[in-house]
């Protein structure tokens, strides 16, 4: 009997590449862009907004890289590589260390 | 000097923030749209002097928004900002008469120069 459960459509390679480019390059653009603004502007508003947005974008980029690395590791069947020291884990550990 | 009106169309708040901060408050009036529908609604109220348009957006893709913008206002300058790497996206945007197609990451200062150049080429009241 056919299942009526809705399953998400698998992404075509072109769509996957497009999503990956978007996930990686958008936060990179935010980090690089605000860094450039910080280099030429010295007002409090720019400093505050740039700092907040760079931190959010860095976290987002780290998570996107983790997903990418886990995907590659899964494709290679490398369980150890998939679970060991991810970028975001490293960032979280460093943040926790700084907070102490 | 009359501030020029720029419309930012992007579903990503962080990119909108970067573009907002790039444009000096006293020189530009900024309209923000979070998707294509929103952009076309804003366009009904006031035609901007220039549009900064994201390409990959949910619901209505940037190419559809560009097509509609140029159909309604052929002289309105539109800069597309995208993370896409495939060349066919640029070809499509060019076929739809995009003025500038920029890939991320982009330099905000170079973007500002590009905006100023396009605004000089399209003086006030000629965009529509």
Averaged pLDDT score across all residues of chain A: 82
Over residues A48-75, the pLDDT tens digits come to 999 999 999 999 999 999 999 988 888 8
Residues of B in contact with A37 (CB under 8 A): 18, 21-22, 108
Q: How confident is the model at residue B23 (pLDDT cuts 50, 70, 90)?
A: very high
Which of the two residues, B27 and B18, has the higher pLDDT score? Answer: B18
Which residue in the set A18, A45, A56 is minimally distant from B56, CB to CB? A18
> How many structural domains is chain A composed of?
1
Residue A53 lies in a domain: yes
At B44, which CATH number? 3.40.50.2300
> How many structural domains is chain B composed of?
1
The reported pLDDT for the residue numbered B111 is 97
Please tell me the least confidently modeled range out of A71-80, B9-18, B21-30: A71-80
Residues of A in contact with B14 (CB under 8 A): 26-27, 30, 53, 56-57, 60
Over residues B86-105, the pLDDT tens digits come to 889 999 999 999 999 999 99
CA B76 – CA B69 distance, rounded (Å)? 8
Handedness of CA B80, B83, B85, B89 (dihedral sign): negative
Residue B88 lies in a domain: yes
């Amino acid at each position: 009997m056919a299942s009526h459960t809705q399953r998400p459509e698998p992404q075509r390679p072109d769509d996957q590449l497009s999503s990956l480019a978007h996930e990686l390059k958008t936060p990179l653009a935010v980090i690089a862009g605000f860094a450039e603004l910080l280099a030429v502007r010295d007002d409090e508003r720019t400093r505050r907004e740039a700092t907040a947005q760079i931190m959010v974008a860095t976290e987002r980029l780290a998570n996107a890289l983790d997903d990418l690395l886990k995907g590659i590791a899964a494709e290679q069947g490398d369980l150890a590589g998939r679970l060991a020291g991810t970028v975001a884990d490293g960032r979280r550990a460093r943040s926790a260390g700084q907070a102490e | 000097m009359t501030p020029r009106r720029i419309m930012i169309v992007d579903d990503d708040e962080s990119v909108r923030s970067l573009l907002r901060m790039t444009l000096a408050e006293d020189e530009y009036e900024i309209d923000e749209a979070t998707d294509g529908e929103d952009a076309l609604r804003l366009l009904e109220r006031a035609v901007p002097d220039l549009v900064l348009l994201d390409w990959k957006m949910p619901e209505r893709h940037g190419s559809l928004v560009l097509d509609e913008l140029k159909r309604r206002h052929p002289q309105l300058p539109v800069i597309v900002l995208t993370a896409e790497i495939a060349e066919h996206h640029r070809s499509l945007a060019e076929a739809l008469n995009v003025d500038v197609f920029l890939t991320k990451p982009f330099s905000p200062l170079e973007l500002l120069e590009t905006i100023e150049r396009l605004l000089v080429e399209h003086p006030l009241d000629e965009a529509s």
